[in-house]
Amino acid sequence: MIYGYARCSTNESKQDINRQIRELKTAGANEVIFEYEHGDSPLKCNLQFTLDHAQPGDTIITLEVSRLSRSTQQLCEIIEVIKQKRLRLVIVGSITIDCRSGELDAMSAAFLKMAGVFAELELQMIRARVKSGMQNARAKGKRIGRPQTTTDDIPAIFHKHYLAYVAGHMNVSDLARVCGLSRPTVYKYLKMMG
């Protein structure tokens, strides 16, 4: 079995994961497993699912080392699982680690770990630039973050169904669904109305 693994850091409204899925299928993936999670998150549920369900001899492919992890420590742990389970890991067009015989090629593992170091470095540099930019904006007197929401910003559809919620005809989940809003947004609006 050839599993493809795709990951984006933010949700589908901000990042399109379909490019990764298409390229993984083109590269031979029988099944593509994907998720939206930060690269250095300690738990990537769908990656863990893939590693848990892969059988000896299976292949896991991904497009970049950074899709697996932006943490060198996590990457080393993934490599160990690949070795222990006798899997093959392919970074498309780049590095392949083939542990199906139970052996780990030292050179390939070293190159993969070096790529992991650069992926982690890139994440740290991005965070440093964002932090610096925010400090610069604050120094210029700019407000950082989302604009404050007021009752004038609450959409008309929420007001339309709000009375049914107050009357007990629908719960928060129902209100969120009919308004096309997330539950946290509904809770925020309810607090503002309250």
The pLDDT assigned to 49 comes to 94
Buried b (16+ CB within 10 A) or exposed e, 113-135: eebbeebbeebeeeeeeeeeeee
Partners of 62 in the β-ladder: 91
The pLDDT assigned to 148 comes to 82
pLDDT in tens, 85-102: 999 999 999 899 999 998
Partners of 35 in the β-ladder: 7
Architecture per CATH, domain 2-123, reads as 3-Layer(aba) Sandwich (3.40)
Distances (CA, A) of 21 to 12, 53, 57, 97, 136: 13, 19, 22, 21, 38
The C-alpha R_g of the chain, in whole angstroms, comes to: 22
- pLDDT higher than 90, residue 23: yes
The pLDDT assigned to 143 comes to 85
**32-40: average pLDDT:** 88
Chain-wide mean pLDDT for the chain? 90
The pLDDT assigned to 47 comes to 93
- pLDDT higher than 90, residue 24: yes
pLDDT in tens, 94-131: 899 999 998 888 888 899 899 989 999 998 999 999 99
